Chain A
Amino acid sequence: ASAQFQLAVPVAVVFAPGSVPGDLPRPLPFRDVQEMEISVNLRTSITSRYETVYRSTTAQEEAALDVATAQEADAALHPLQDTSLGALSVYVVPETSSLLPQGISVYVGKHRSALVRAGGGLATLRTRIRQLTQVMSFTASSIAAALSDRVPDGQLSPDARRHLKSSLGYEITFSLLNPDPKSHTVDWDIEDAVNRYVQPVLDKLSLVANFSVDSQILYYAVLGVTPRFDKESSNFFLSAHSLPHVINPVEARLGSSAASLYPVLNFLLYVPERSHSPLYIQDKDGTPVSTNAFHSPRWGGIMIYNVEAPASPQASFPLHVDVDMVRVMEVFLAQLRLLFGLSRDELPAEFLLESPGNEGLADWELDRLLWAHTVENIATVSTTLTSLAQLLDKIGNIVIKDDVASEVYQAVASAQSAMAKLAMGHLHSAFQASKEAVTSSERAFFDPSLLHLLYFPDDQKFAIYIPLFLPMAVPILLSLAKIVREARQRKKEPTKMD
């Protein structure tokens, strides 16, 4: 189905005193709109509109910028900004400002604002701001990835389909694998770790979907691959190309919740056996991976936690191990970000991104997810409803129940509302509307009553009904013919008798 998306991003560019470039087209404040078109395929295109307001700082903002470091400025500016989802604020500071470190010309904060160093005239500034707004909202490749169904196959980058698909909810399962309980008694305080570290991230992501978390401990669960022993370092190694075979034998034992139909993200912590310790993951060049972890797109991640050998050879087994949950959660939460598609590479060297800290992701990263998911949701609704319509066209004898019909109307209305809100720049309500549209369209498409079971090809219809009706029809037709002939004769009679 064809779809023309209009995505509007409200941007405010605020000039601090001393940073206004000399070649502004008009005096401050003024607005302008920049449009860019991304065409996905013949019938789908995205037009992005950056509605920019250029103005100078207010007195409060000047005070906020008058601090020592960029982080403090970011924190001070936060209450002064437009905090609606999707809106961005860019503060231009003078070229000589000490807020930004040397060599850095753009600093992106934890919320929705950024600091840009002036210099080089309006054109350079505009380029930087354009790059920046794309990073903080969406790029051509992130939107193409969201619409991966529609992109012709040759043009997709290989990692376009690795991010999690937009879903109403996700289940996260943390599993501790202890293959050698005789040697190690492993304790992990998962409940505390989830409350402290995972929950804040999930709270931030709660706008995007519902999350449920559970955990389990599995004993005698081994990896499917035997690690190699390296004599020089007396370490065991798992090479990068054996990693794909690790997951399956374990997955059979992981179990999954019988009740929920949401996609499951598994995070496994593996404590190697005494006889295979210490165990490291080797990447392609043979160097040990610093995180000792790997992840699989749309599935989850595995981390290997090595236990130090006991100092004295007379130590009694099993050894008691208290897992350092901070280290583990740093890796698992990073993997969670990567699974959702929030990675921080591919940026020019002069950009500095603030770390989001315990919240796990910055506000603008949340915006990126929302833009991509909203577009993905609307595209899914469009495809679903179109294929439903095609199905009904082809197979005429399906009965549409009233509630299915009302779901379809609802889906169409919500999708239209979502498109309208995207064009106006209201990201939050657009996302909510797109979620409703997807829910309704999925309910309509997958309604059990739509199963077309009775297929009557024409030749079978003839084959069944003709032998039944033809013999019966012969005497009936003959008598009908006789009746008609008699009636016609009677009509002629009166005229004759005259």
Chain B
Amino acid sequence: VCTSRFWFNYRHVANTLSVYRSVKRLGIPDSHIVLMLADDMACNPRNPKPATVFSHKNMELNVYGDDVEVDYRSYEVTVENFLRVLTGRIPPSTPRSKRLLSDDRSNILIYMTGHGGNGFLKFQDSEEITNVELADAFEQMWQKRRYNELLFIIDTCQGASMYERFYSPNIMALASSQVGEDSLSHQPDLGIGVHLMDRYTFYVLEFLEEVHPASQTNMNDLFQVCPKSLCVSTPGHRTDLFQRDPQNVLITDFFGSVRKVEITTETISLDGDLAGFESK
């Protein structure tokens, strides 16, 4: 979810799209991704390279591309819609791609970026979501068993305040900065004129580049990403609600999609000549 709009918040959109790309690369299909963006970057009149969103300076990587599937765009990115997606209280006319059709065996990754403060996250410059609302939404998801395990990553100023209030089991949270700290952006691009990415997300993505679908890297490695020397802010994480040891949790449990399979050893025997409705 990218909660900002306007040209100078280019980096939030680039953050979100880069995470989207990584997650797709590691195997999660679009039908399992709900992407919420204000989507006003690629076609913004101030964009010197229309139809592109870059995440590296020198315009190396266009994260917008041809196959971005944005589910909630522009003014649809509201606190209400976000909470509706999470809790499932959606009007019946909503199409399948805009719903979170998860069940008790689904692992969910939630990535949010934008501007935030102590206990809240700003949505589109007009409303806010508080950490209490978020915690309540997760609790309702847990009551209805809409997730097996949940990983919450937030890249905003004072991000750690957003996960302080969680109380439902099986949630692990990471934030780019502690309460009282600001998260800083990474690098400006002189051609485009704005900052392209935020530091925390930049280093997380560098880390994810090393991960491939069969890799065994675990969450403890993710916690080490972006130390204070590189990030200037202090990333935080919270694992007390999580039942498994983070050492044993694979990155691909959340960022990729590795399914359990079983070899089919039984067959039934069908009588090929017996027709259901033809007479013989």
B144 with A387: CB separation less than 8 A: yes
CA distance A496 to B197 in the complex (A): 85
- Taking CB atoms, residues of chain B closer than 8 Å to A195 are 276-277
B260 with A244: CB separation less than 8 A: yes
Asked if A299 lies at the interface with its beta carbon under 8 angstroms from chain B, I say yes
CA distance A330 to B266 in the complex (A): 9
A256 with B31: CB separation less than 8 A: yes
Q: Which of B29, B84, B262, B276 is the one whose CB lies under 8 Å from A448?
A: B84
Mark the stretch among B88-96, B171-179, B202-210 that contacts chain A.
Answer: B88-96
A241-253: contact bitstring with B at CB < 8 Å (1 yes, 0 no)?
A: 0011111110110
Interface residues on A, range: 35 or more
- Taking CB atoms, residues of chain A closer than 8 Å to B58 are none
Please give the distance in Å from B214's CB to the nearest CB on chain A: 7
Q: Scan residues 208-261 of chain A and give those whose CB is less than 8 A from a CB of chain B.
A: 224, 240, 243-249, 251-252, 256-261
Mark the stretch among A104-112, A354-362, A406-414, A417-425 that contacts chain B.
Answer: A354-362
Asked if B105 lies at the interface with its beta carbon under 8 angstroms from chain A, I say yes
- Taking CB atoms, residues of chain A closer than 8 Å to B90 are 446, 448
A455 with B265: CB separation less than 8 A: no
Asked if B261 lies at the interface with its beta carbon under 8 angstroms from chain A, I say yes
A377-420: contact bitstring with B at CB < 8 Å (1 yes, 0 no)?
A: 00000011001001100110000000000000000000000000
B130 with A200: CB separation less than 8 A: no
Please give the distance in Å from B90's CB to the nearest CB on chain A: 6
- Taking CB atoms, residues of chain A closer than 8 Å to B243 are 153
Interface residues on B, range: 35 or more
Q: Which of B29, B105, B258, B267 is the one whose CB lies under 8 Å from A161?
A: B105
CA distance A99 to B145 in the complex (A): 50
Asked if A343 lies at the interface with its beta carbon under 8 angstroms from chain B, I say yes
Please give the distance in Å from A169's CB to the nearest CB on chain B: 14
Nearest residue in A to B88 (C-beta to C-beta)?
A446
B264 with A452: CB separation less than 8 A: no
Asked if B185 lies at the interface with its beta carbon under 8 angstroms from chain A, I say no
Mark the stretch among B11-19, B39-47, B132-140 that contacts chain A.
Answer: B132-140
Q: Scan residues 229-280 of chain B and give those whose CB is less than 8 A from a CB of chain A.
A: 243, 256-272, 274-277
Known A-B contacts A165-B103, A245-B258, A330-B269; A301 and B264 likewise in contact (beta carbons under 8 Å): yes
- Taking CB atoms, residues of chain A closer than 8 Å to B272 are 326
Please give the distance in Å from A335's CB to the nearest CB on chain B: 5
A451 with B269: CB separation less than 8 A: no
B interface secondary structure, majority = loop
A296 with B268: CB separation less than 8 A: no
CA distance A294 to B264 in the complex (A): 5
CA distance A344 to B266 in the complex (A): 9
How many contacts A-B (CB < 8 Å)?
A: 164
- Taking CB atoms, residues of chain A closer than 8 Å to B264 are 289, 291, 293-295, 301, 303, 331, 334-335, 338
Known A-B contacts A289-B265, A301-B264, A451-B84; A245 and B27 likewise in contact (beta carbons under 8 Å): yes
B88-111: contact bitstring with A at CB < 8 Å (1 yes, 0 no)?
A: 111100011101010111000000
- Taking CB atoms, residues of chain B closer than 8 Å to A247 are 259, 261
Q: Scan residues 14-55 of chain B and give those whose CB is less than 8 A from a CB of chain A.
A: 27-31
CA distance A291 to B267 in the complex (A): 8
- Taking CB atoms, residues of chain A closer than 8 Å to B270 are 197, 326, 329-330, 333, 357-358
B261 with A294: CB separation less than 8 A: yes
B97 with A258: CB separation less than 8 A: yes
Q: Scan residues 341-359 of chain A and give those whose CB is less than 8 A from a CB of chain B.
A: 343-344, 355-358
B267 with A330: CB separation less than 8 A: yes
CA distance A149 to B133 in the complex (A): 25
Asked if A445 lies at the interface with its beta carbon under 8 angstroms from chain B, I say yes
Known A-B contacts A330-B267, A338-B266, A358-B276; A296 and B140 likewise in contact (beta carbons under 8 Å): no
A295-310: contact bitstring with B at CB < 8 Å (1 yes, 0 no)?
A: 1111101010000000
Please give the distance in Å from B131's CB to the nearest CB on chain A: 10
B96 with A258: CB separation less than 8 A: yes
B31 with A251: CB separation less than 8 A: yes
Please give the distance in Å from A218's CB to the nearest CB on chain B: 14
Q: Scan residues 308-339 of chain A and give those whose CB is less than 8 A from a CB of chain B.
A: 326, 329-331, 333-335, 337-338
Please give the distance in Å from A484's CB to the nearest CB on chain B: 42
Asked if B80 lies at the interface with its beta carbon under 8 angstroms from chain A, I say yes
B259 with A296: CB separation less than 8 A: yes
Asked if A180 lies at the interface with its beta carbon under 8 angstroms from chain B, I say no
Please give the distance in Å from B107's CB to the nearest CB on chain A: 13
- Taking CB atoms, residues of chain A closer than 8 Å to B271 are 357-358
Asked if B193 lies at the interface with its beta carbon under 8 angstroms from chain A, I say no
Nearest residue in B to A257 (C-beta to C-beta)?
B96
CA distance A196 to B278 in the complex (A): 9
Asked if B79 lies at the interface with its beta carbon under 8 angstroms from chain A, I say yes
Q: Scan residues 169-204 of chain A and give those whose CB is less than 8 A from a CB of chain B.
A: 195-197, 199-200
- Taking CB atoms, residues of chain A closer than 8 Å to B144 are 384, 387, 445
- Taking CB atoms, residues of chain B closer than 8 Å to A356 are 268
- Taking CB atoms, residues of chain B closer than 8 Å to A149 are 104, 145
Known A-B contacts A165-B103, A357-B271, A447-B89; A248 and B262 likewise in contact (beta carbons under 8 Å): no
- Taking CB atoms, residues of chain B closer than 8 Å to A391 are 140, 143
Known A-B contacts A295-B264, A446-B89, A457-B132; A249 and B27 likewise in contact (beta carbons under 8 Å): yes
CA distance A224 to B27 in the complex (A): 10
Known A-B contacts A358-B276, A450-B89, A451-B89; A261 and B267 likewise in contact (beta carbons under 8 Å): no
A196 with B213: CB separation less than 8 A: no
CA distance A455 to B135 in the complex (A): 12
B262 with A294: CB separation less than 8 A: yes
Known A-B contacts A256-B96, A457-B132; A283 and B263 likewise in contact (beta carbons under 8 Å): yes
Asked if A162 lies at the interface with its beta carbon under 8 angstroms from chain B, I say yes
Please give the distance in Å from B145's CB to the nearest CB on chain A: 6
A448 with B91: CB separation less than 8 A: yes
Nearest residue in A to B136 (C-beta to C-beta)?
A452
Asked if A453 lies at the interface with its beta carbon under 8 angstroms from chain B, I say yes
Interface pairs A-B: 10 shortest CB-CB: A387-B143, A248-B27, A252-B29, A326-B272, A293-B264, A330-B267, A243-B261, A334-B267, A296-B259, A296-B261
Seed contacts A251-B29, A261-B101, A451-B80; 12 additional CB < 8 Å A-B pairs: A200-B276, A283-B263, A289-B263, A289-B264, A326-B272, A334-B268, A343-B266, A387-B143, A387-B144, A445-B144, A451-B89, A455-B136
B interface residues (Cβ-Cβ under 8 A, vs A): 27-31, 79-80, 83-84, 87-91, 95-97, 99, 101, 103-105, 130, 132-133, 136, 140, 143-145, 213-214, 243, 256-272, 274-277
A-B contact list, 23 entries, CB within 8 Å: A148-B104, A153-B243, A165-B104, A195-B276, A224-B27, A243-B261, A244-B258, A248-B259, A252-B29, A256-B96, A261-B101, A283-B263, A335-B264, A357-B274, A383-B145, A384-B143, A394-B136, A395-B136, A446-B89, A448-B84, A450-B89, A453-B79, A453-B83
